[in-house]
Amino acid sequence: MCGICGKLAFEQGARVDAALIRNMLATIRHRGPDDEGVYSAPQIGLGHRRLSIIDLNTGHQPICNEDGTVWIVFNGEIYNYQELRPFLLSRGHRFSTQTDTEVIVHLYEEFGPDCLQKLRGMFAFAIWDEKRQSLFLARDRVGIKPLYYSLTDTSLVFGSEIKAILADPAVNCEVAPEVIDRFLTFLYLPGEETLVRSVRKLAPGSYAIACNGHLEVRQYWDLSFAKPADVPEQKEGERRLLEILDEAVRLHMIADVPVGVLLSGGVDSTAVLSFAAQQTDRQINTYTIGFSDPEIADERPYARLAAETFGARYREMTISADDFAAFMPRYVWHMEEPVCEPPAIALYYVSRLASGEVKVLLSGEGGDEAFAGYSNYRNLLWLERLKRHLSPLNGSVARGLSLADSLFHLPRVAKYAPLMNARFPDYYFSRTSNPYRYSGNGLGMLYSADFARSIDREHSIEPVRQLQKHVTGQNTLDSMLYIDTKTWLPDDLLIKADKMTMANSVELRVPLLDHKVLEFAAALPSNLKVRGFTTKYLAKKTLEKRVPRQILERRKAGFPVPYESWLRNELRGWVREVLLDRKTASRGYFATPAVEQLLARDQAEGGLSKEIFSLLTLELWHRTFLEREQAVVH
């Protein structure tokens, strides 16, 4: 796991200053504290910060081919590199290291961009092809590893993090206010745009080629939910899933340094631990975080049970409201994109705990997106069935759901009322989005009159509108899973996972997001994912002899953080200080009286913590990246 950056100057004979590349690398030192490397030649500069995981002695980057005409900087891990190496040797390629990075160089020589089809792993890399005078950028299929770029008339600048790109004085750090509405709709930023107008994300499963001043972006992989002719029966499905999971975890255990497991106390992380434990004779270190707060589930007893079941060493921790607030500026600095993800702060602290003992952590991230583990999948499936059977009465049912909320205060039920008369998939934007957010909780009424007039709602939801068109005609569950895999997963969960662990120089691996696992899960019929009221049906049946029943049957919780209580109580003064500050108001996005009403409503009724956390994140982002107000200690 590493950090990469670089610059391609389009003008013939122009030279990229190696000092610039080193300045870019300085901003991402946390991603790779073990080593630094720079390659500089006419038109191109490549930079690399290394976190040594494989081939500790000879893995210095950038790495080149035999004659020095192909150079690479690479972030990630290729889990099948040992299988690919013999083929490349048989083709006459000579290796100077034992790294997976060098395998990519020679694969590129053999297959060009099609080399991506051969790779199994998580990756973001850049290859400079001197003979073709082209720069090849690529990102893994799911978007586990981030890759950003900025294109101007004179150059292309790229990096693992936005801050590396902004280290180039030629890149303008100008906010894109039209993206703010997208953030407050989804609570993260789906699509390729960022809040910095000049910086874009390379989409998951895509590559880009820059040559002769032009950039071409292409998609090389997409998740297909087409059902094969040999759809497995349940027992056969269980057998095949066990084999795939066992292989995926085995490959993700490859490392020349200690590997630990991040436990959430749930099914997926416990399953990963169960497979990992059988792959090694060493006692595995496990880490979790929990809170003794009556409002949230405490993960620690279940995580401790998982560790004891598989003979693992168990470590736990908790954090306070003061810890939470103290880290907020650095949370924004590390995340770089505004994301409403309070559990990310817990992930930062628990990975910091792990960093003293391991360099690699496995987690169960992605199991719910692959096998349909979220309750909203089940609820919307039932809603669509209800709508089909009660079509003439949908209006009456919607009014009944709204009445239930007013009489019995059941917001979880009432939120489905507007959907009774909506057509799927037009209303499904992602797990966290709420197309009725503005009328439902008043967030849109926060906008100043000028800012409200400037908003183009179609632009805000455009990335998901394209996905909705793509899934037209697919069944309800597959449509939801596809949209979430293309939006919520890479642009929220995986950004959090990468940025918070790399902040502590720890590599996080996610075996349940191996593309072989995802492709197997996508091909399953819906009734092997959600059956009746049971989510993740086949996965749970497959794991019922491996995962303790107390964990298998418990309600999903994840990494809960009592931030709702903290924002209303311990951190109330700080929240008001930031959101009602004159500087915040001067940005012109929100009407201060409306923000005051939002805070008062949350104090009186609760339920608006996500909105408040999002507003905090947005303001701190402006102070951190536009005004450079917060000093960050590396």
- Tens digit of pLDDT for each residue in 115-158? 999 999 999 999 999 999 999 999 999 999 999 999 999 999 99
Three-state SS at 166: helix
For residues 52-67, give the mean pLDDT: 85
What is the pLDDT of the chain when averaged over all its residues?
A: 90
Greatest C-alpha distance within the chain: 76
Residue 311 one-letter amino acid: G
Residue 209 one-letter amino acid: I
Contact between 324 and 563 under an 8 Å Cβ cutoff? The reply is yes
169 Cβ contact list (under 8 Å, min separation 6) = none
**Digit-coded pLDDT (tens) for 439-474:** 334 556 899 999 989 888 889 899 999 999 999 989
Give me the pLDDT at residue 444, please.
65
Give me the pLDDT at residue 555, please.
80
The continuous run of DSSP H or E covering 164 comes out as: helix 162-166
Q: Does pLDDT of 280 surpass 80?
A: yes
CA distances from 582 to 568, 577, 625 (A): 21, 9, 18
Q: Does pLDDT of 162 surpass 90?
A: yes
The Cα 401–Cα 484 span in angstroms is: 26
For residues 581-608, give the mean pLDDT: 94
Give me the pLDDT at residue 193, please.
97
Homologous superfamily of the 2-219 domain (CATH): Aminohydrolase, N-terminal nucleophile (Ntn) domain (3.60.20.10)
Q: Does pLDDT of 294 surpass 80?
A: no
CA distances from 159 to 11, 40, 137, 202, 357 (A): 21, 16, 10, 10, 28
CB neighbour burial string for 265-283, b if at least 16 within 10 angstroms, e if fewer: bbbbbbbbbbbbbebeeee
Residue 623 one-letter amino acid: R
Give me the pLDDT at residue 408, please.
44
Give the chain's count of helices (H) and strands (E).
28, 17
Three-state SS at 317: strand
Give me the pLDDT at residue 399, please.
56
Backbone angles phi, psi at 182, to 5 degrees: -65, -45
Q: Does pLDDT of 526 surpass 70?
A: yes
Least confident of 42-56, 295-309, 318-332, 411-425: 411-425
2 catalytic residue (yes or no): yes
Give me the pLDDT at residue 355, please.
95
